[in-house]
């Protein structure tokens, strides 16, 4: 895959006449794209579909990339795929109908409270350590509205079950306190006391909360895969990503009357406008509120 990228960069410089800086920008963006494809097990351009591109853009969003960066990444991918099609490396340009992204288009599908419960409960809280761990991960992500990187970074010392709070290290290394709900607290307590010790594998000094079967910290890619697997097992036919649980966390709070500023604080957003992007209000609820409070509704 890197060979095609190298040839593409030569094409941009020699045939398109782009400056060295422009070629380097394309190269950097597409190298990141290729690294993501390799992580998810894709090794040929003919294996890539629109869904894989959307998954990559959602992954960029998980890494807190700005909307302008997302738009630039998609432009680079579109130009590259047009080149691959012209060179007959792929049979069709799958990006020809993909428009440049707006931030809200890069968010995973919103799921209802019922779908969220179905997604979380797909992993039983039984005796299997890995299935229990997966359940604890999903419960925690939804209960606290966490990014996947924040979930991977949780430690034993960051979970304060006696106070029902988690200390979360967010974007820009900013720390915030987030409440832990009863369901997540109960699951986490059992996970920490009875399940996690089974996963430690004599690595007693490890402080990371969520561990692999060999006792090593789970990375963000593995947590990503757990969420995707849960969606598949639950039969939810939507574009589900780790960010879906964070997005649903904020939306469900807003639907049930939570103040937007409080949601902003729990999500760790510096700007309230960012929080507004994460929230949806049902149209029926809007009509109901208008009818209830407007004097001439």
In tens, the pLDDT along 19-75 reads 888 889 889 999 999 999 988 888 888 888 888 888 888 888 878 787 778 888 888
- Tell me, what's the pLDDT at 106? 47
Residue that finishes a domain, picked among 86, 106, 126: 106
Q: Give the pLDDT band of residue 240 (cuts 50, 70, 90).
A: confident
**Distance between CA 165 and CA 178 in Å, rounded?**
6
- Tell me, what's the pLDDT at 83? 86
For the chain, the average pLDDT equals: 84
Q: How many CA atoms lie within 13 A of 19 on its CB side?
A: 3
Does residue 293 register a pLDDT over 80?
A: no
Q: Looking at the structure, do residues 182 and 97 belong to the same domain, yes or no?
A: no
Q: Give the pLDDT band of residue 157 (cuts 50, 70, 90).
A: very high
Instruction: DSSP for 76-101, please give it.
Output: HHHHHHHHHHHTTSSSS-TTTTPPPP
Q: Looking at the structure, do residues 281 and 140 belong to the same domain, yes or no?
A: yes
Least confident of 1-15, 138-152, 266-280: 266-280
Q: Give which of 185, 175, 151, 178 is closest to 266, Cα–Cα.
A: 178
- Tell me, what's the pLDDT at 100? 55
Residue 92 located in a structural domain: yes
Q: Looking at the structure, do residues 144 and 278 belong to the same domain, yes or no?
A: yes
**Distance between CA 133 and CA 233 in Å, rounded?**
16
Of 196, 243, 247, 252, catalytic: 243
Residue 200 located in a structural domain: yes
Q: Give the pLDDT band of residue 139 (cuts 50, 70, 90).
A: very high
The Cα-based distances of 102 to 105, 107, 195 in angstroms read 5, 9, 42
Q: Looking at the structure, do residues 151 and 194 belong to the same domain, yes or no?
A: yes
Q: Looking at the structure, do residues 162 and 49 belong to the same domain, yes or no?
A: no
Of 82, 118, 171, 176, catalytic: 171
Of 73, 78, 241, 246, catalytic: 246
Contact 161/185 with Cβ under 8 angstroms? yes
Residue that finishes a domain, picked among 48, 80, 106: 106
How many structural domains are present in the chain? 2
For the segment 74-100, the average pLDDT, to the nearest whole number, is 82
Q: Give the pLDDT band of residue 287 (cuts 50, 70, 90).
A: low
Contact 108/231 with Cβ under 8 angstroms? no
**Distance between CA 206 and CA 190 in Å, rounded?**
18
CB atoms within 10 A of CB 80: 22
Parent domain of 38: 2-106
Record the tokens describing residue 110, joined without a space: 């919103």
Q: What is the pTM of this model?
A: 0.67
Residue 215 located in a structural domain: yes
Largest CA distance in the chain: 69
Could you confirm whether 269 is annotated as catalytic?
A: yes
Residue 264 located in a structural domain: yes
CATH of the domain at 40: 1.10.150.130
Could you confirm whether 243 is annotated as catalytic?
A: yes
**Distance between CA 183 and CA 185 in Å, rounded?**
5
Residue that finishes a domain, picked among 74, 106, 138: 106
- Tell me, what's the pLDDT at 231? 92
Q: Looking at the structure, do residues 198 and 254 belong to the same domain, yes or no?
A: yes
Between vectors from CA 18 to CA 16 and to CA 20, what angle results, nearest 5°? 140
Could you confirm whether 291 is annotated as catalytic?
A: no
Q: Give the pLDDT band of residue 242 (cuts 50, 70, 90).
A: confident
- Tell me, what's the pLDDT at 160? 92
Of 78, 135, 147, 196, catalytic: 147
Q: Looking at the structure, do residues 134 and 259 belong to the same domain, yes or no?
A: yes
Q: Looking at the structure, do residues 198 and 282 belong to the same domain, yes or no?
A: yes
Residue 8 located in a structural domain: yes
Q: Give the pLDDT band of residue 104 (cuts 50, 70, 90).
A: very low
For the segment 2-30, the average pLDDT, to the nearest whole number, is 85
């Amino acid at each position: 895959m890197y060979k095609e990228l190298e040839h593409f960069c030569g094409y941009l410089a020699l045939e398109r006449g782009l400056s060295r800086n422009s070629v380097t920008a394309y190269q950097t963006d597409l190298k990141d794209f290729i690294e993501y494809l390799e992580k998810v097990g894709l090794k040929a351009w003919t294996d890539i579909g629109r869904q894989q591109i959307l998954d990559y853009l959602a992954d960029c969003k998980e890494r807190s990339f700005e909307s302008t960066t997302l738009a630039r990444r998609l432009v680079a991918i579109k130009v590259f795929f047009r080149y691959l099609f012209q060179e007959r490396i792929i049979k069709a340009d799958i990006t020809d109908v993909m428009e440049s992204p707006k931030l809200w288009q890069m968010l995973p599908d919103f799921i209802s409270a019922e779908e969220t419960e179905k997604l979380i409960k797909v992993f039983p809280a039984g005796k299997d350590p890995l299935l229990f761990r997966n359940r604890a991960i999903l419960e925690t992500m939804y209960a606290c509205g966490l990014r996947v990187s924040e979930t991977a970074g949780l430690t034993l010392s960051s979970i304060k079950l006696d106070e029902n709070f988690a200390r979360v290290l967010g974007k820009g290394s900013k720390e915030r306190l987030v409440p832990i709900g009863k369901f997540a607290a109960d699951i986490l307590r059992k996970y920490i006391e009875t399940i996690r010790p089974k996963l430690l594998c004599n690595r007693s000094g490890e402080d990371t909360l969520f561990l692999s079967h060999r006792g090593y910290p789970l990375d963000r890619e593995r947590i990503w895969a757990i969420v995707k697997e849960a969606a598949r097992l639950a039969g939810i036919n939507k574009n589900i990503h780790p960010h879906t649980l964070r997005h649903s966390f904020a939306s469900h709070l807003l639907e049930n009357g939570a103040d937007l500023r409080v949601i902003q604080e729990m999500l760790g957003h510096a700007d309230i406008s960012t929080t507004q992007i994460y929230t949806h209000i049902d149209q029926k609820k809007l009509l109901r509120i208008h009818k209830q409070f407007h004097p001439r509704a």
